[in-house]
């Protein structure tokens, strides 16, 4: 009987009763859970420009890594050659070719760092402006 009494006494020492009781701690835990849940849900809704741009690129489909790697090394030289040969002032007497050259120059400038686009514009310049590149 003495052993049973010691066991009961040790349980009362291990789990002391407080005036606030266990309900207060349960309420605090629920409030903390709600705060954490709200923070996690609001984190997922942040839609910045970088995330939108990433989604748009991934929607387009396949990414051309060869072009991405080659562009920094080869695009600048091709850009310089194209902008020099397709400058509108070279076609001043012919208004139609001057307009085409102006359009091509604008597109060449926009694609300054994109090797694939510059190669396509080079072919277009060869056919439309009849120049040797």
pLDDT attached to residue 42: 79
- Structure tokens of 80? 């310089």
Q: Considering the entire predicted model, what is its pTM?
A: 0.55
Residue 28 maps to a domain? yes
Residue 105 maps to a domain? yes
pLDDT attached to residue 60: 76
Residue 58 maps to a domain? no
State the total domains in the chain: 2
CB-based contacts of 57, cutoff 8 Å, min separation 6: 63
> Is residue 82 located within the same domain as residue 119?
yes
Residues 18-55 have pLDDT tens digits of: 565 668 888 999 999 999 999 888 776 656 777 777 77
pLDDT attached to residue 62: 78
* Residues lower than pLDDT 70 in the chain: 1-22, 44-47
- Structure tokens of 37? 């849940």
Domain that holds residue 13: 2-44
> Is residue 80 located within the same domain as residue 124?
yes
Instruction: Dump the DSSP string for 35-88.
Output: HHHHHHHHHHT---HHHHHHHHHHHH----HHHHHHHHHHHHHHHHHHHHHT-G
Query: Contact, 108 vs 82, CB < 8 A?
Result: yes
pLDDT attached to residue 56: 79
Residue 60 maps to a domain? no
């Amino acid at each position: 009987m003495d052993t049973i009494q010691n066991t009961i006494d040790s349980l009362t020492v291990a789990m002391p009763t407080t005036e606030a009781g266990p309900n207060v701690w349960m309420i605090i835990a629920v409030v903390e859970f709600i705060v954490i849940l709200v923070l996690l849900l609001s984190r997922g809704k942040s839609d910045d420009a970088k995330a939108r741009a990433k989604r748009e690129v991934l929607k387009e489909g396949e990414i051309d890594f060869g072009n991405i790697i080659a562009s920094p090394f080869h695009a600048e030289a091709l850009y310089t050659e194209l902008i020099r040969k397709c400058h509108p002032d070279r076609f001043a007497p012919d208004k139609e070719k001057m307009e085409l050259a102006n359009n091509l120059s604008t597109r060449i400038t926009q694609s300054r760092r994109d090797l694939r686009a510059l190669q396509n514009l080079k072919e277009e310049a060869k056919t439309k402006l009849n120049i040797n590149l």
